[in-house]
Amino acid sequence: MKGAVFIALGDMVSEAHGLNTWLSLLDEVCDDGVYTATMNYDDERLYRLVEAICSRLKVDASDALKSFGEYLFAALHKSAPIFADSKTTFLDFVESIGSVIHIEVYKLDEKARPPKITVLERTENSADLRYESDRKLCYLAEGLLKGAAGHYGVEVSVSQTQCMHEGADSCVLRITQNG
Ligand code: HEM
C-alpha cells in the first residue's frame, strides 16, 4: 500500500490522540514509521497498525476504517485535486473512481494495486458500486465515499447489499444521495 495511506493514518491518530499515542502504537507493532508517500509498503504493516489502534482505542475495525476513509479522502484529494475538480457532481465523481482515478494511479506506478471499482447501476440520485480487492477494505471505501460527499457538500447514505466479510465474492456498495 502507498506510503500516503500510512502517512494519513499517522496524521489522523496524532491529531485525535496526540503524537505520543501514534509513536507508542508504532513501537507496539515494531514499525519504524518511516514512509514516503509515493512508495509501496507491505500491506501487513497497515493491518498490524489498524489492529493495534482498534485494541488500544477499543473501536471496531469496521468503524475505524470508515472514519479513516473519511479522513483519507481529504489527503488523497490534496495530492491530486484534479480528479474532483474536474467533476461537477458527487455522483459523476463516483463514476470516475474506477474508470479514471484508479486507472491513473496504476498508470503512474504499476506496482500500485488500487481496488477494482465498477459502476453496476446509476440513477439521478444513487449508484451501486462493485468493490473487488483481496485486501477486503470495503469499509475504507465506505468512508472514502463519505469523505467525498463531504467535499461536494452533499448528504449521502452508504450501505452494502453484499459484502466479502459475509462470504460474498465481492462487495456491492449502494450510495444514495439525500436531497
Ligand atoms: C470516493 C473515492 C474513492 C474511493 C471509494 C477509493 C477507494 C479506495 C480503496 C478502498 C483503497 C484501498 C486499497 C484496496 O481496497 O485494495 C484505495 C487505494 C488507493 N486509492 Fe482510492 N478511492 C477513492 C478516491 C481516490 C482518489 C481521489 C485518489 C487520488 C489519487 C485515489 C488514489 C488511491 C491510491 C494511490 C491508493 C493506494 C493503492 C495502493 O497503494 O496500491 N483514490 N482507494
> Each residue of 2-57: pLDDT tens digit?
999 999 999 999 999 999 999 999 999 999 999 999 999 999 999 999 999 999 99
**pTM for the whole structure:** 0.98
CA–CA distance, 119 with 133 (Å, rounded to integer): 15
pLDDT the model gives residue 81:
98
- Residue 69 Cα to ligand 1 midpoint, Å, equals 9
User: What mean pLDDT comes out for the span 112-122?
Assistant: 98
**Does the C-beta of 158 come closer than 6 Å to ligand 1?**
no
Ligand 1: residue whose CA is nearest its atom 6: 141
Written as nine digits, the cell of 95 is 463514476
Q: Give the dihedral sign, CA 115/118/120/124.
A: positive
Average pLDDT, rounded, for the chain: 98
Q: Which residues contact 20 (CB under 8 A, 6 or more apart)?
A: none
